[in-house]
Amino acid sequence: MLDENGIFYTKFNIGDRVVIARDHPDGNEDLVCGVLGTITKVPIAEGYWYSVDYDIEIDGGHDCDGTSRDGHGWRTPEGYLEFATNEAEDEISAESCQSVIDFLCT
């Protein structure tokens, strides 16, 4: 997004927990409202998408150029994402969170 001075900034940052807010970004049938993920790369300019490591393995998923677990990564437009709420986060298993941390820290 651009601020009032025309400077590019992003809504989300690397490590932010997000939830799909609109079904099927870029036509992916596995990504529906409520699916949780972690931002692994932010856009560099208008028109670029976020790299997200989703908690579920998704059809056609990839590793987002090495920033996500293979099969869990998907580039997603900002308009499909919202910050995950504490209620949504309560449903995430500790094992799921730890696997993302382990992957990103290696």
33-65 pLDDT, tens digit each: 999 999 999 998 888 899 999 999 999 999 999
* Maximum CA extent, the chain: 43
| pLDDT value, residue 99 | 66
Fold of 17-104: SH3 type barrels. (2.30.30)
Better-scored residue on pLDDT, 92 or 11: 11
Regarding pTM above 0.85, the answer is no
**Average pLDDT of 88-92?**
52
Burial of 72 (0-12, 13-18, 19+ CB in 10 A): buried
